[in-house]
Amino acid sequence: MKVTSALLASSAFATSADISAHLIAADGSFWQNAGKLTANADAILRSWNGKFDKEMDDAFHMCTSGSYTDQQIIWECGKKVTKATFDKNPNFNLMGRYAASQFHQLDQNGDGKLNFEEFKRGFAGFFSTVGSTLVDIFDADGNGVLEGQENHDMHFGLNNIWDEFSSDKNRKLITPILDTWVGSDLDKNVDTLSKAEMTEQAILHSVPYW
Ligand SMILES: [Ca+2]
Ligand SMILES: [Ca+2]
């Protein structure tokens, strides 16, 4: 992961091979984080203390008009999200793959469905995993926070990934989103990005797609 960040920083124009290496590192980190953070979802929700209640409600009703979702519904919903964002890589469906891999942890009453309370745990686990992974893959010094050159590498790396995965049309929509990722101040330091801040940014910048 550190190698990839340095590799991106060393080149103004990352090649496809660079991006592939980067995505492989991101993928490994994502699934490691997913298991750990989903198991910790109740604590994450407590720490949010109602902060993202509206976003969770909106996300739930984006995927279903009923009172529950299941793996199939989330898979189809994830395909729609992928089409609106990473349209050049229709198989990406990170949301669908996350739900499929973590479903056993989320479906606490074992009925094969996620009611809203169970869905909220998935929402917390998924976005915390995205936020933590984005820090991990660009955190060259491994201190758990992005700062200085790491912020630059993160912007640059995400722009390259979006170029690879998304059409020009969507790219124009996404550029301003990427430009605002530095600036969250949950830790009262606008120059750094913590995992909690990246998680918050990932949620807030996903809202327009719901
Ligand atoms: Ca259930
Ligand atoms: Ca760091």
- Domain regions of the chain by residue span: 2-209
* pLDDT, tens digit (0-9, with 9 covering 90-100), for 134-146: 999 999 999 999 9
Neighbours of ion ligand 2 (CB under 5 A): 139, 141, 143, 150
pLDDT class of 183 with cuts at 50, 70, 90: low
CA of 47 to the centre of ligand 1 (A): 23
CA of 89 to the centre of ligand 1 (A): 31
CA of 143 to the centre of ligand 2 (A): 5
In angstroms, rounded to a whole number, what is the distance separating the alpha carbons of residues 190 and 148? 11
Cβ contacts of 209 within 8 Å, gap of 6 or more: 81, 84, 85
| Phi and psi torsions of 9, nearest 5° | -65, -25
Give 140's Cβ-side CA count (13 Å radius).
Answer: 17
Taking 70 as the threshold, does the pLDDT of residue 180 lie above it?
Answer: no
Strands (E) located in 53-206? 146-147, 192-193
Q: Average the pLDDT over each of 10-24, 26-40, 55-69, 94-108 and give the range with the smallest value.
A: 10-24
CA of 100 to the centre of ligand 1 (A): 14
CA of 20 to the centre of ligand 1 (A): 36
- Chain centroid to Cα 178, Å, comes to 13
pLDDT class of 11 with cuts at 50, 70, 90: very low
Q: What is the pLDDT of residue 34?
A: 97
Q: What is the pLDDT of residue 45?
A: 98
CA of 108 to the centre of ligand 1 (A): 6
Single pTM value for the model: 0.86
Q: Which ligand is nearest to the CA of 106?
A: 1
Higher pLDDT, 202 or 180: 202
The tokens for 191 are 């120059």
Q: Which ligand is nearest to the CA of 71?
A: 1
In angstroms, rounded to a whole number, what is the distance separating the alpha carbons of residues 91 and 100? 14
Beta bridge partners of 192: 147
Q: Average the pLDDT over each of 21-25, 35-39, 67-71 and give the range with the smallest value.
A: 21-25
